[in-house]
Chain A
Amino acid sequence: MTDSEKPSRRMFTASAGAAFAGMVLTACGPKRLYEVPQHKLKASIAEMERRYKEQLGKDIQVSDQGPMPGVHFAFALDISRCIGCRRCVYGCVAENNQSRDPQIHWIRVFSMEKEKGVDFTHADPYYNPPEVPEEGHFYVPVGCQQCENPPCTKVCPTGATWAEKDGIVVIDYDWCIGCRYCMAACPYGARHFNWKAPTIPENEINPHTHYLGNRPRPKGVVEKCTFCIQRSREGRYPACVEVCPVGARKFGNILDPNSEIRYIIEHKRVLVLKEELNTVPRFFYFYAT
């Protein structure tokens, strides 16, 4: 779609609001999703699926599954295991329908020198040796840290981004106006902007999507990691956990005392990035050995 054919973001929001949702999309933020009558939400999602079919020529399922009670998600990544192979980066791109061109990667892997420790002033995301790991280096993959005290949501003027009850920080693309305040507020560079309409080869689109996650995005909105909300709310591991060849990525319910994640927090050396900013990440880094 070229720019002239495509209605602007604001126009789209306005007309969508007028067309099928004057009655549905009245509040903003989580209220809009969780306090509207179920049948109205279902109707607007059905309308969304119809529009995707029209635009992409493909059946896309958009789930609106809410958080499970008693579940608060957390992630842990074993820095002593990660070899920097970037399998997680591309597994994530495929699962979550990230634009191939312009390129969007929700995960960025930084190569760091063992001598200097975890230090972003000496980190290189563009390393490209024939084989990894490289002598004297270790690797720190960084995506959204799903902060419990997220600076990104506080600055959003439209209430388009918020933290869910299970700890996942989400974005409603229909309410994002693309001001990018959240990108400036995020201390981890976790948010990415669609400067152009995303392009994904049709046969590579993942049709299994969630409203607040990997459904196809338009030009002009911000996106980021959602702990694979479309998978994790069904009880499955995120895609990066399953694709990592060294098993460095661990995921689960931090409220469950028998979970892998609790075992790690209770038994291993654990750190969070930029702890001094008090963002309270739910993404932990640990050393298994």
Chain B
Amino acid sequence: MRSGLLLLLLSGGIVPAADGPKIPPAPAGPERIEVPPPPFSDGIFPCTNCHAGMPVDRTRRELTAMHTDIVLKHDETHRWCLDCHDPTNRDFLHLASGERVPFDESYRLCGQCHGEKYRDWRAGVHGRRTGNWNGAKEYLLCAHCHNPHQPRFKPLAPKPAPQRPDRSMK
């Protein structure tokens, strides 16, 4: 009986009106986070369209046939494509443990090295959020703002400076 009532309360079945607004807690723990689609270049995904039948070449090398537009400036002395991209199924990324991670959960991959940023992002402190302060929010993936191959944030042209006060009589 008691546990039944508790369950009802927990499920939001009975919410006393005087309780004030219901504010969902900031997400914590390993649940999936809603994000917009990952920022793929046009027509590039699924990667298996081309890679499915190809033998895997694990030698670290400069790519000359395809993907020549990608210039790696992200710890490039230590990192290479297959450190993040899964060699056997190219539609996925992988963690250091070998666990496959879909592109829309790429934050888990980034979070392996950037743990502090990952924590702040989950708490809503790093990165841009849109939507409701007390309801549904949309997160962006790390890759929406930081090109994973060249993550440094690009400078922007500022919007116009304010007008200086006009002291002439008009």
Binding site for B on A (CB under 8 A): 68-71, 78, 83-87, 89-90, 103, 105, 108, 125-133, 232, 235-237, 241-242, 244-247, 250-253, 256, 258-260, 263-264, 267-268, 288
Q: Tell whether, in the assembled complex, residue B158 and residue A237 are in contact, meaning their CB atoms are under 8 Å apart.
A: no
In the complex, which residues of chain A have a beta carbon less than 8 angstroms from the beta carbon of B133?
A: 232, 235-237, 251-253, 259-260
How many angstroms between the C-alpha atoms of A246 and B159 in the bound complex?
15
B25 to A, closest residue via Cβ: A258
Q: Tell whether, in the assembled complex, residue A235 and residue B134 are in contact, meaning their CB atoms are under 8 Å apart.
A: yes
In the complex, which residues of chain A have a beta carbon less than 8 angstroms from the beta carbon of B52?
A: none
Q: Tell whether, in the assembled complex, residue A84 and residue B20 are in contact, meaning their CB atoms are under 8 Å apart.
A: no
Query: For the complex, is B145 an interface residue (Cβ under 8 Å from A)?
Result: yes
In the complex, which residues of chain A have a beta carbon less than 8 angstroms from the beta carbon of B124?
A: 250, 260, 263
In the complex, which residues of chain B have a beta carbon less than 8 angstroms from the beta carbon of A245?
A: 128, 145, 156
> Could you say which of B20, B125, B162 contacts A250, with CB atoms under 8 Å apart?
B125
- 5 A-B residue pairs with Cβ-Cβ distance under 8 Å, sorted by A, are A83-B153, A132-B156, A132-B157, A247-B128, A263-B124
Q: Tell whether, in the assembled complex, residue A247 and residue B129 are in contact, meaning their CB atoms are under 8 Å apart.
A: yes
How many angstroms between the C-alpha atoms of A70 and B153 in the bound complex?
38
In the complex, which residues of chain B have a beta carbon less than 8 angstroms from the beta carbon of A127?
A: 158, 161
Which secondary structure dominates where chain A touches chain B?
loop
A233 to chain B, nearest CB (A): 11
Q: A237-B131, A247-B127 are in contact. Are A253 and B23 (CB under 8 A)?
A: yes
Q: A237-B131, A253-B133 are in contact. Are A103 and B158 (CB under 8 A)?
A: no
In the complex, which residues of chain B have a beta carbon less than 8 angstroms from the beta carbon of A85?
A: 156-159
In the complex, which residues of chain B have a beta carbon less than 8 angstroms from the beta carbon of A83?
A: 153, 155-156
In the complex, which residues of chain B have a beta carbon less than 8 angstroms from the beta carbon of A232?
A: 133
In the complex, which residues 119-156 of chain B have their Cβ closer than 8 Å to any Cβ of chain A?
A: 120, 123-135, 140, 145, 153, 155-156
Interface size class of B (residues with CB under 8 A): 20 to 34
B42 to chain A, nearest CB (A): 22
A268 to B, closest residue via Cβ: B125
In the complex, which residues of chain A have a beta carbon less than 8 angstroms from the beta carbon of B125?
A: 78, 250, 260, 263-264, 267-268, 288
In the complex, which residues of chain A have a beta carbon less than 8 angstroms from the beta carbon of B21?
A: 68-71, 235
How many A-B Cβ pairs are below 8 Å? 115
Q: Tell whether, in the assembled complex, residue A131 and residue B157 are in contact, meaning their CB atoms are under 8 Å apart.
A: yes
Query: For the complex, is B160 an interface residue (Cβ under 8 Å from A)?
Result: yes
Q: Tell whether, in the assembled complex, residue B161 and residue A126 are in contact, meaning their CB atoms are under 8 Å apart.
A: yes
Q: Tell whether, in the assembled complex, residue A86 and residue B26 are in contact, meaning their CB atoms are under 8 Å apart.
A: no
In the complex, which residues of chain A have a beta carbon less than 8 angstroms from the beta carbon of B140?
A: 247
**Sample of 8 further A-B pairs with CB below 8 A, known A71-B134, A132-B158, A245-B128:** A85-B158, A235-B21, A236-B133, A245-B145, A247-B128, A256-B134, A260-B26, A263-B123
In the complex, which residues of chain B have a beta carbon less than 8 angstroms from the beta carbon of A68?
A: 20-21
In the complex, which residues of chain A have a beta carbon less than 8 angstroms from the beta carbon of B132?
A: 235-237
Q: Tell whether, in the assembled complex, residue B155 and residue A132 are in contact, meaning their CB atoms are under 8 Å apart.
A: yes
> Could you say which of B129, B145, B158 contacts A246, with CB atoms under 8 Å apart?
B145
A107 to B, closest residue via Cβ: B162
How many angstroms between the C-alpha atoms of A83 and B145 in the bound complex?
14
Q: A69-B20, A237-B130, A251-B133 are in contact. Are A130 and B157 (CB under 8 A)?
A: yes
